Amino acid sequence: MKLQVYRFNKGKDSTNGILFDITKEKRFMCYTLEDEEREVKVFGETCIPSIEYTLGFRKEGKFHEKYAFRFADIHIGMIEIQNVPNFKHILIHCGNTDEDTAGCLLVGDTQANNTIKKNGLIGKSTQAYFRIYKEIASALVSGEECTISFTDHG
C-alpha cells in the first residue's frame, strides 16, 4: 500500500493536507492536519519532513492502550510512521486541532481553512480514523509493504 499526503495549505500554527491511496490509482481517503512547518524542529510543534516513510505497528504507549479500549473490535496497534528524522513515535490518530498533535498526523472527514482557523480544524476524525485504520492495518497484517509520502503543494 502506498499512501500520499498532499499538503496544500500551511498556516501559522498548522498544516492542511489530503491523504490519498496511490497504490493503483489516486483514491481520496481523508483530510489531514499536522503542526506547522519549521526550519528547526521544535518537539511536538513541527510537521513531518517531506519524504517517504515506512508504516508499521506500535504496540506500546498511552495511545496504544487508549485505542485498544476505544477501538477494541479492530485495534491491533497504532499505525506508526517509522524512522522520521529527529522525531519519535509519530502516529496516525484522531484529533481536531494542532493542539491534539505532537508532531503526529491527524485524520478527518471535514476540514476548515487553517488561515482562518488559527489552530486548524479537522472534523469527523473518529469516523475517518476507523475507516482508514481498517485498510492500513489489513495491509500490514497481510505482510504488504506500506509507505506514506509527504508532498508540499502550497
Beta-carbon contacts of residue 40 (< 8 Å; ≥ 6 apart):
none
- Asked if residue 126 lies in contact with residue 19, where contact means CB atoms within 8 angstroms, the answer is no
CB count within 10 Å of CB 142 equals 9
Reading the chain (154 residues) residue by residue, the pLDDT tens digits are: 999 999 998 888 899 999 999 998 899 999 999 998 887 777 778 889 999 999 999 999 999 999 999 999 999 999 999 999 888 899 999 999 989 988 899 999 999 888 887 788 999 999 999 999 999 999 999 999 999 999 998 6
pLDDT at 64: 96
* Per-position DSSP letters for 63-78, written without gaps between them: HHHHHHHHTTTT-SSE
Rounded distance, CA 150 to CA 55, Å? 13
The C-alpha cell at 32 is 489531514
Q: pTM for the whole thing?
A: 0.93
What are 113's strand-pairing partners? none
